[in-house]
Amino acid sequence: MSVLSALTEALDSGAIEVIDLTAPLSSQTPVLELPPEFGQTAVFELEEISKYDDRGPAWYWNNIRTGEHTGTHFDAPNHWISGKDLGDIASVPVRRMIGQAAVLDVTAEASANPDFLVEVEHIKAWEAEHGPLPAGGWLLVRTGWDARSRSQAEMINADESGSHTPGLSVEAARWVAEQTPVIGMGVETVGTDAGAAAGFDPMFPCHSMLMGNNKYGLTQLQNLAQLPPTGAVIIAGPLPIVNGSGSPARVLALVER
């Protein structure tokens, strides 16, 4: 049997399960909030064109308005100044939209401390148990934050001192970007950086280091709890927005049962 026939047969039999890692996209979908001095991204909106009415008697359709970085989305290298010459979202090679996932679970740490930062040693400890991070694949950081994804306030988790959400330390961001073979990092929060990362040096280190090394970000993932630590295959499909810096994406995982 051909590999692709074996794949479809395994999908039909349930030997391979498809897990949706994508948050539903609506006007309720949480979005990133930057410090107030910066420009802000739009929430997702539908604008009805017609709905089986005199504007279009047999058809229903909408225009959409959205930020590129709204909901579950894919960050392209040109999203950051460090990667400004490294390509837009339309030039991400399709081959790089399919890759293996390494799932690092720090749910316990992030639930005890919303400002929890993954350090290099956490990832090295994961590698000691599960093997090296996958070449051409993704590091997915599970924090339990997907449980908050229906609420802007819970997702951002802000108080007078700013947003409190987990992420990576500066050194961990640098190490993942420069020393590991993954092509990107995926998270359950609204951005790849920690809530406090506007105050890090450099600010927003995951963005700065990943984009600057021609790597990618995936955000607001769900259902990572259903993935094994290794072996899942991720399919992440951003729209080819010409000159775009990112795009909402449908992100799926194939998991062998």
Which C-beta is closer to Mn ion: that of 69 or that of 148? 69
Which C-beta is closer to Mn ion: that of 19 or that of 211? 211
Site for Mn ion in 192-251 (CB under 5 A): 246
- Residue-wise burial string across 17-49, b where 16 or more C-beta atoms lie within 10 A, e elsewhere: eebebbbebeeebbbbbeeeeeeebebbeeeee
Which C-beta is closer to Mn ion: that of 99 or that of 244? 244
For residue 75, the one-letter residue type is: D
Q: Is 33 in the site for Mn ion (CB under 5 A)?
A: no
> Which residue is nearest to Mn ion, using beta carbons?
69
CB of 70 to Mn ion, least distance (A): 9
For residue 71, the one-letter residue type is: G
Q: What angle, rounded to 10 degrees, do the helices at 205-212 and 170-179 form?
A: 10
Q: Which residues are catalytic?
A: 79
- Bridge partners of residue 19, in order along the sequence: 253
CB of 75 to Mn ion, least distance (A): 4
Q: Is 75 in the site for Mn ion (CB under 5 A)?
A: yes
As a residue count, the chain comes to 257
User: What are the E-state strand segments in 95-200?
Assistant: 98-105, 117-118, 138-142, 158-159, 162-163, 167-168, 184-186
CB of 68 to Mn ion, least distance (A): 7
DSSP character at residue 122 = H
Stretch that binds Mn ion, among 43-51, 74-82, 127-135, 163-171 (CB under 5 A): 74-82
Report the distance separating Cα 40 and Cα 185, nearest Å. Answer: 23
- Bridge partners of residue 141, in order along the sequence: 104
Stretch that binds Mn ion, among 62-70, 115-123, 132-140, 223-231 (CB under 5 A): 62-70
Tokens at residue 163, please? 């947003």
Task: Determine which helix (DSSP H) or strand (DSSP E) holds 177, and give its type and residue range.
Answer: helix 170-179
Which C-beta is closer to Mn ion: that of 123 or that of 210? 210
CB of 123 to Mn ion, least distance (A): 21
Which C-beta is closer to Mn ion: that of 238 or that of 246? 246
Contact pick of 69, 122, 142, 148 for Mn ion (by CB under 5 A):
69
Which positions lie near Mn ion, rule CB under 5 A?
A: 69, 75, 246
